[in-house]
Amino acid sequence: SQTIHQWPATLVQPVGSPLSLECTVEGTSNPNLYWYRQAAGRGLQLLFYSVGIGQISSEVPQNLSASRPQDRQFILSSKKLLLSDSGFYLCAWIQGSSYNEQFFGPGTRLTVL
């Protein structure tokens, strides 16, 4: 069966510090991968998605970046965090077409102080 992992589960970082959030998927190959951010009391904002290794599409210009070094690994990074980067970060994957179910990870809660 397929599973998706995210870590860390929670993170508190000072403004200006770097960020690295990791997402890995097990039990599937060549999935489409997605990073979302959910700010407090708000909906989901798609940040990045990837249809293959090294292929990253950015949805919103900001100080975040994403990388996909391996087929089932998706990393969200920042060189310098802003207060506005606080939120709940969700990784998700789809096998094949977007008409299929999108599976979400448990999320990482990031607080920037």
Partner 1 sequence: GDSVTQMEGPVTLSEEAFLTINCTYTATGYPSLFWYVQYPGEGLQLLLKATKADDKGSNKGFEATYRKETTSFHLEKGSVQVSDSAVYFCALTHTDKLIFGTGTRLQVFP
Q: Is 107 one of the binding residues for partner 1 (CB under 8 A)?
A: yes
Candidate segments 11-19, 60-68, 75-83, 103-111, binder of partner 1 by CB under 8 A: 103-111
* Least distance to partner 1, CB of residue 17, Å: 24
* DSSP result, 15-66: TT--EEEEEEEES-SS-EEEEEEE-TT--EEEEEEEEETTEEEESS-SSEEE
Q: Is 56 one of the binding residues for partner 1 (CB under 8 A)?
A: no
Q: Is 46 one of the binding residues for partner 1 (CB under 8 A)?
A: yes
* DSSP result, 71-104: TTEEEEEESS--GGG-EEEEEEEESSSTTSPPEE
Label residue 18 left, alpha or beta by phi (over 0 means left) and psi (-120 to 50 means alpha): beta
* Least distance to partner 1, CB of residue 23, Å: 11
* Least distance to partner 1, CB of residue 93, Å: 11
- Which of 15, 51, 60, 82 is the binder for partner 1 (CB under 8 A)? 51
- Which of 90, 93, 110, 112 is the binder for partner 1 (CB under 8 A)? 90
